[in-house]
Amino acid sequence: MPRGPRIAPSWALLLRLLALLRPLGLGEACSCAPAHPQQHVCRSALAIRAKISSEKVVPASADPADTQKMIRYEIKQIKMFKGFEKVSDIQYIYTPFDSSLCGVRLEANSQKQYLLTGQVLSDGKVFIHLCNYIEPWENLSFLQRESLNHQYHLNCGCQITTCYTVSCTISAPNECLWTDWLLERKLYGYQAQHYVCTKHADGTCSWYQRHLPLRKEFVDIIQP
């Protein structure tokens, strides 16, 4: 079956959904629910390491009446961690031009490398936005880089819950409590950078940092 007619609807539908998800009263703001890097990788269809070669503003669809624009980034793919069954070598990625629709601004024609997570649309194009996990490669810890190969994927059955108050508790045996916001007032703190929520043989999950013990602050929260 020809795939051409599905291309425009895939872009248009995605942009409409992002517009609907925009919180009322925030105008031009883009708002995303917090997620641990492990959750981002598990929920995304694709995770790659790449450099941005160039960028170009392109129409969001072939419909002349559609005024939406996209940014098309030409990339040099360095390594793929997830998405092998959907795409192979990626030449372009797309993001909304409109910042209120969570468009991503990346540095082109530089030596900077990025970890990019995102979706693969029905027409095979790769789509990213600010609610994906997108970080300069140099900002990732050694554990994060290592976990992209195996640990994040192997432990997608674990549930990670963000803690905002000291009263948060585990509600399921496969749950890990993410305390970076509570302890450091930022999402991607020490726990996000150095721990993986790991599933055990009995179905329970707990934080793991290679062979190092949990920091005392995490133990106090997780084991009240």
Binding residues, as ranges, are 30
In whole angstroms, give the CA distance from residue 215 to residue 191.
9
Residue list for the binding site for Zn(2+): 30
Q: Are strands 175-178 and 159-162 parallel, antiparallel or unpaired?
A: parallel
In whole angstroms, give the CA distance from residue 38 to residue 176.
11
Q: Are 75 and 107 in contact (CB under 8 A)?
A: no
Which candidate, 122, 103, 6, places its Cα nearest to that of 58? 103
Per-residue b or e along 79-100, where b marks 16 or more CB atoms closer than 10 Å to that residue's CB: ebbbbeeebeebeebbbbbbee
Q: What residue has token string 């409590």? A: 177
